């Protein structure tokens, strides 16, 4: 069983800190996302995962970043409104069967997946899936017990 302890970033399990996702609202105009990515790259922060949902007036960009601490400082310094949430990140051996098994396990455990998207391949080239779930602690426990390899923030920092 994972032991938990408090840190400045919140609850951390023995396995690692939850992966943080930033959600940033951008104006729906040409170059807005490119400007944000260039701002981050100026501080050597790389985008590891990206999901963009577009509407007529605004774009919601969900980002997993290589240096979340510095990124949050930049967002605060520049007055960029953002929200942060925890993601479960799973390393899949096989994209098709692995995804089905993962979703079946979460369904059997009666845990909702709010949204999901792929991350850029990990250091070993395997497929990575990021999911926002109803109950992070419960989902990670269920997936760990089922033999899935979960990645934590420390695993993604490059």
121, 105: one domain: yes
Give residue 18's pLDDT band: very low, low, confident or very high (50, 70, 90): very high
Q: Are 76 and 93 members of one domain? A: no
Q: Could you give the CA distance from residue 45 to residue 48 in angstroms, rounded to a whole number? A: 9
* Reported confidence tier of residue 43, pLDDT bands at 50, 70, 90: very high
Asked if residue 81 and residue 98 are part of one domain, the reply reads no
Residue 80 shares a structural domain with residue 114: no
Q: What domain range includes position 78?
A: 19-85
Tens digit of each residue's pLDDT (9 = 90 or more) over 107-148: 999 999 999 999 988 667 788 999 999 999 999 999 999 999
Place of tokens 């990140």: 89
> For residues 85-122, b (16+ Cβ closer than 10 Å) or e, as one string?
ebbbbbbbeeeeebbebbeebbeebebebeebbebeeb
Q: Are 25 and 69 part of one and the same domain? A: yes
Instruction: Give a yes or no: residue 138 inside a domain.
Output: yes
Query: Do residues 23 and 70 both lie within one domain?
Result: yes
CATH code at 142?
A: 3.30.2130.10
93 and 79 together in one domain: no
pLDDT of 75 above 80: yes
Residues 108 and 131 in one domain: yes
User: Does position 41 have pLDDT exceeding 90, yes or no?
Assistant: yes
In a domain, 5, yes or no: no
**Lowest-pLDDT range, 23-27, 52-56, 62-66, 78-82?**
52-56
Judged against a pLDDT cut of 50, whether residue 80 lies above it is answered with yes
Whether residue 81 sits in one domain with residue 32:
yes
pLDDT band for 94, please (50, 70, 90 cuts). Answer: low
Contacts 24+ apart (CB under 8 A), 35-44: 36/61, 36/80, 39/74, 39/78, 40/65, 40/71, 40/74, 43/67, 43/70, 43/71, 43/74
């Amino acid at each position: 069983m994972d032991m938990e302890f408090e840190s400045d970033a919140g609850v951390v399990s023995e396995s690692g800190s939850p992966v943080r996702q930033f959600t940033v609202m951008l104006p729906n105009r040409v170059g807005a996302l490119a400007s944000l990515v260039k701002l981050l790259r100026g501080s050597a922060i790389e985008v590891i995962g990206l999901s963009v949902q577009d509407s007529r007036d605004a774009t919601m960009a969900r980002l997993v970043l290589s240096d979340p601490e510095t990124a949050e400082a930049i967002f605060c310094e520049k007055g960029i409104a953002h929200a942060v949430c925890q993601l479960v990140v799973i390393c899949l051996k096989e994209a098709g069967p692995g995804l089905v098994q993962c979703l079946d396990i979460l369904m059997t455990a009666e845990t909702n997946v709010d949204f999901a998207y792929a991350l850029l391949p990990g250091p070993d080239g395997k497929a990575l899936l990021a999911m926002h779930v109803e109950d992070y602690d419960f989902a990670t426990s269920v997936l760990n017990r089922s033999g899935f390899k979960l990645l934590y923030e420390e695993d993604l920092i490059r």
